[in-house]
Amino acid sequence: MIELGLETSDGPADLRVLFIGAHSDDIEIGCGGTVLRLVRERPEICIHWVVLAADGEREAEAHRSAAGFLQDAKDIHVAVHSFRDGFLPYEGYHVKEVFEDLKDVRPDVVFTHRSEDRHQDHRLLSELTWNTFRNHLVLEYEIPKYDADLGSPNVFVELEEDIVQLKIELLMQQFGTQRSKPWFAPDTFRGLMRLRGVEGALESGSAEGFYARKIRLALS
């Protein structure tokens, strides 16, 4: 299978990546392995990390986790907002204002929630991402949960075992408020990465899956 790379005309040093998450652990669950690969292999890129609904202890978790996942990156910008969990659609006006400000980031790649996610906060952010960034590469990540809304991704990022293990360790270390939930467990995260590795026919056997609506190919 042919692999497609992430490059700008000025090379990797000019690459700007925006990660958007509704809650303090969403980015890490959905694409934490990809984050770890990016900052390890391309520490010169610019990363913007935005969490919309995290207050109290979850706000502290969001900052600590971002620092852990991005510790090898040189150019990072973290913003954590305190909108109420589960109520983002009802605060849509103010959430939209956050997205209007994100236009100044001018990202090359945007990672956001999957549009078919059943969680109302996740769906809203996906919708606003597409409304805001109309001429960008947008990759939608997935979150395993009770809703059983996982789909069939069409983009895969291969993860070696050390990245898989580090992602799981950081998730379990950083999110104490979530560890009591039965689904928030190492075998959940490892199992999904293993499944996506099989689907992507990847040598390492593990991957994160993403959903891409539009990809433009450069043939020269």
190 residue type, one letter = R
**What's the 3-state SS for 154-172?**
CEEEECCHHHHHHHHHHHH
Cα–Cα nearest to 33, from 154, 193, 172? 193
What are the structural domain ranges in the chain?
12-210
Tell me how far apart the alpha carbons of residues 27 and 141 are, in angstroms, rounded to a whole number: 8
Mean pLDDT of the chain: 95
- Residue 2 is predicted with a pLDDT of 81
Alpha carbon separation from 100 to 57, 72, 77, 82, 97 (Å, rounded): 27, 29, 17, 17, 5
| Cα–Cα distance for residue pair 147/38, rounded to 1 Å | 30
pLDDT tens digits for range 66-112: 999 999 899 999 999 999 999 999 999 999 999 999 999 999 999 99
Classify residue 144 by burial, with Cβ atoms within 10 Å: 0-12, 13-18, 19+: middle
pLDDT per position as a tens digit, 14-36 = 799 999 999 999 999 999 999 99
CATH superfamily of 12-210: LmbE-like (3.40.50.10320)
pLDDT at 9: 59
**pLDDT tens profile 107-149:** 999 999 999 999 999 999 999 999 999 999 999 999 999 999 9
For residue 166, the one-letter residue type is L
The residue-averaged pLDDT of 173-181 equals 95
Neighbour tally for 69: CB within 10 Å: 27
pLDDT for residue 12: 55
Place of tokens 């895969």: 156
pTM metric for this prediction: 0.95
